[in-house]
Structure 1
């Protein structure tokens, strides 16, 4: 098995279990523990996991860890493309949009149509870069996108945060807010590892008529340090169609439909150029379960009242 195939399977196991151990991976992949350690070192260097004693864990397992933009953009690219395409169906001509930082919102910015007369206000340097004039007419002309960049302090995820950003949002109003999040959970709501970013995102929600959260299925049940808003504040949650096939099974989709205004599942497209790799059996099966057997209330939230 090639190193890229092994590493792909290690990340799959990590997404399913949250943590992996070197000895168990060696048995699963039928390779030496030294080989597994080299693969974990390579994935750790790319920011795709965090190496710990005896194994590895997801960066999301630590609520205050904020991965850089480059590390996040390398993950779940197919899901992000599918989610961005589904998000386009929410657009109407002449809309004013607030677009938060994040790699999924960055993918959305790449495919935003230039012929709807949109106005985009963003605190993301990467989103602003995608929407910047190209030197051949730019995006500020008729038929393009008018872009407003919010000021503030730069974060590892290339977002601008802090009191300057919040003050700017106090004077803005948007028809729709597209927000990328670190995690979404029925009890904890949508969360961020960055306290200042969570405040900015809460201000974005307050400045918008409707909130659309863009988050792939691997972020389900991930809870970061700072709360942004409960799931009841989410008008539309767009995730990918793997949400019902993860460890929680179909219960996850059913529960999310109860918590948010509308749930949309973007269909993943199979890339014919990508070789099929069969997924091995889980190391430790986890039957789906809900706390106390009941769907948690969306109001059980500690954080911002947005």
Structure 2
């Protein structure tokens, strides 16, 4: 890390995963920064109201300021107002976990969720809003990749990494480009992407892209996830029409959100630049 900003953001991103706080020494070790520099950065972040020290000489944790800024942005951008009723209805219809991810530059990020399973066995991660989606191992990631050409998809996977560096990754996560391309071809033919024992062991999911006005640029992905014992191929085929209809509803409503309008303008500008340079 070279810039002061990059070092500060590395600390903030680490603390996002540790709401109970971390000591300076641990933060320094994980972010590979000198403890003295980390301490100075934390003091500055505390002055600005983004972190607090839990007690004198104790651990540092994020304050509510950063999450509040994020929620405020989501609300003013109109994403949750448009998406949540659709997600809630799909959750009620399917009885499973529904997640919406949106494209942010070259990343796919989970932003909204609805849980339809009210009892019994269920998949309920609870902490994935704001998390960058791992493309090769998740249904949402593969739905986005399948909307691209193979070359474009491989460029995205190459930038992020084929394998997800996290505990609990499922045994069926693709470990070769050949297998991933095969799964993308199957997703295109089937009309939805799947991930079974891939992103997390014991979990299965299906996903489709959300397109602006139904046939425009891809804005994000909508998925249904649940225990693999319940989310069988037959169950996924049964749920596919409802998932696709909900994605279409989101795509049609996207014109009413400032965030998606800005995304579409950026996509159109990139496409125009590409045509001019061709």
What TM-score do the two structures reach when normalised by structure 2?
Answer: 0.29
What TM-score do the two structures reach when normalised by structure 1?
Answer: 0.27
Which structure: greater helix fraction?
2
